[in-house]
Structure 1
Amino acid sequence: MKKLQFIALSIALLLNLPLSASQKESNGKPDASWYQVDLVVFRYLNNDSGEAWPTVAGYRLPTKAIRLKTHSAGSADNSPLFEIVAPDNQLSRQPDIVRDAYIALPANERLLNNQVTSLEKSGSYQVITQKAWRMPVSSESGKQPIAIRALIGGQDTLLLQGTVSVSEERFLHVDIDLWLNKLSPESLYSTLSGKQHKYNQKTSGVLADSHTGSDNLVRLHDGSPPLRITDNFQIKQRRRIRNTKEIQYIDSPEIGVLIKLTPYDRPDALVETGMTISQYSS
């Protein structure tokens, strides 16, 4: 009898090992759940609200902000946007979009594609960016916001930058802090305003640290001429998510945000369990 009890206990311990590993990967929280976060940011065209934009303010990306990794180095999106990608020392291993956190998901994995299509067809909105990623969510996850950055050209060059945070205690919460900036070439601004501005190579760069200096000049990449932020608008709001089946809509006079949290069953535990049993059985 003792031998049978020992075998049963050993099997139970083996089955529990992968769960412990999964817990460590979820920021050490045994109750951390995984969610897919879908985000769409758009602006209103022909906005006649008459509301003036506030005085231009500087923005600095939080030091703990997480930058999404690209799912494929050679992936191409049929999008008019081009994302601002910060240089980093990523591992050569290709990210696994099924099991890894903070991976920018490809278009076929995003859940708000129909909404984006409707916005683009209406002619009244301009989609600035669409993103989706998966992540563990706990009471601590809100302390590490996700960096959101995109640039779009046209009649107005627009730079979107800011963060999205997701946390869960008694309820799910989403915090957004996004800035929409209008950019103009510094030389054009100086000509129209009659003000000459002397700049140097220390002008703050979007790629380097995602913040603007006191002179409101940014560089899109090293060596590029500076652009001046002539207007910017902030949308900042906290939203409690009562129903994950609903798409949250956050409104403001200039830009709108669609966000949806979808529970995600990360398959690591099953895969690791099989590997663990096979290792011990051999």
Structure 2
Amino acid sequence: MPLARHLLYPTALSLCLLSAAAQANERWYQVELMVFANETGSASEQWEPLPQLNYPSSSRFLVYPAQVEARLAEHPGASNIDAYGRQLIVMSALEESTNIPPLPSPDTAAPETALEPAVTEPDQDPLEPQQLYPTPFIALPHAQREFHGKSAYMQRTGKYRTLFHETWVQPVQPEATAIPLVLDSSGDIQDWPRLQGTVTLHIARYLHVETNLWLNTRGDYLPGEWRMPAPPLGPPSLVVEQPEPNMVEAPEPYYVNQVPADHSVWPGDPNAIPDLEQDMGPVYPWRHAVAFKQKRRMRSNEVHYLDHPLVGLVVKFTPLDEEQLHEMGLAEQRSDADTIAGLD
């Protein structure tokens, strides 16, 4: 499903219609990445009881076109996608919604908004490019997945379960400027999926993939009833801003020095003991998490596999030349034009 550019204005449009000069030193690839769980993993392995699990201070997301439109339908307003793949919606003052996701908890990591975008803004008018480029980090249709048949076969065996499988195009950056890609939606759903964490793709002489992932487990291999503390939730990919209500400022409440007959506290009494059950937030539904942290050097046009007793990762980088990029950008532009024409 194409992502119409009218949903990307004003920020992301400048990222996809760049001049050839601005992109001259960047190498673009189509990336396919699949992460799966090994359901028959060895129970005899010894895992770190308290692994170091965290999200980086800056990160980015893949953009899912259907999800962008569904979110906008749920929260009507002005929407755009920022340089990190986050959808920002400023709701209309005339619209109300009771389904706004909660703000991240204090333990939730979030991207640093002060960072420069991953792609430099062009000096010239982006609406008059010398070279068209596709929008990076947009999840491509399932039909473009090379591993689709392999994934289906693995799941049919009952021995494996696919946890993440997407393909997209992007310029691969040097390690110093590469931004980790978040693979899960825990920051939006405020819950812990089976797979969490990030992967970082960067390039030097070779291509490199670095995993910062973990698999949440039932902990059947643990003794007794011990369970680890909950790992962090990820940063949110959706930010919804509600308009300030036009209300007359309410007077400060005051309390009369009286005690109810049953010696309970008055409703709203600042001395009242808070309801601890309501303040605890979401409960970690798993017992343990197993870290999957690896680094691998690889070549393009080859399928690479990162092994682990409980989880595996398959990745392939396919290089894209200027002609392919231009054709992809042109096809995207035509699709967007058709979509916008249909809205008129």
Q: Please give the range of the TM-score, normalised by the shorter of the 2 chains.
A: 0.5 to 0.7
Higher mean C-alpha displacement, 110-119 vs 52-61: 52-61
Find the counterpart in structure 2 of residue 5 from structure 1: none
Find the counterpart in structure 2 of residue 11 from structure 1: none
Secondary structure, counterpart of 2:19 in structure 1: helix
Cα 1:148–1:269, aligned 2, differ >3 Å: closer, same or farther? closer
CA distance in 1, matches of 2:18, 2:37: 44
CA distance in 2, matches of 1:123, 1:20: 46
Find the counterpart in structure 2 of residue 36 from structure 1: 30
Q: 2:64 aligns with which of 64, 67, 70?
A: 70
Find the counterpart in structure 1 of residue 88 from structure 2: 89
Once the 2 structures are TM-superposed, how far is the Cα of residue 22 of structure 1 from its aligned partner?
3.5
Q: 2:288 aligns with which of 217, 224, 231?
A: 231
Cα 1:254–1:75, aligned 2, differ >3 Å: closer, same or farther? farther
CA distance in 1, matches of 2:211, 2:177: 11
1:266 maps onto 2:266 in alignment: no
CA distance in 2, matches of 1:33, 1:87: 24
CA distance in 2, matches of 1:146, 1:52: 29
Q: 2:308 aligns with which of 244, 252, 260?
A: 252
- Percent identical: 26
1:181 maps onto 2:237 in alignment: no
**Count of residue pairs the alignment pairs up:** 207
Root mean square deviation, CA, Å? 4.0
Q: 1:240 aligns with which of 277, 297, 301?
A: 297
CA distance in 1, matches of 2:328, 2:158: 46
Q: For the pair shown, which has the larger CA radius of gyration, 1 or 2?
A: 2
Find the counterpart in structure 2 of residue 274 from structure 1: none
Cα 1:270–1:55, aligned 2, differ >3 Å: closer, same or farther? closer
Find the counterpart in structure 2 of residue 215 from structure 1: none
CA deviations 1:92-147 (Å, max 9, x no partner) are xxxxxx81011122212222112201211222111112122211013257531111
Find the counterpart in structure 2 of residue 130 from structure 1: 165
Cα 1:36–1:87, aligned 2, differ >3 Å: closer, same or farther? closer
CA deviations 1:179-234 (Å, max 9, x no partner) are 111369xxxxxxx569xx9x9xxx9644649xxxxxxxxxxxx9963115421111
CA contact (8 A) 1:141 1:166 kept: no
Specify the code of the residue in structure 1 equivalent to 2:150.
Answer: Q
- The alignment's TM-score, normalised by the length of structure 2, stands at 0.50
Q: 2:19 aligns with which of 13, 18, 21?
A: 21
Cα 1:267–1:165, aligned 2, differ >3 Å: closer, same or farther? same
Which has more strand, going by share of residues? 1
CA contact (8 A) 1:71 1:105 kept: no
1:57 maps onto 2:51 in alignment: yes
- The alignment's TM-score, normalised by the length of structure 1, stands at 0.60
Q: Which 5+ residue runs of structure 2 have no aligned equivalent?
A: 1-16, 71-84, 91-132, 187-191, 220-224, 238-278, 331-344
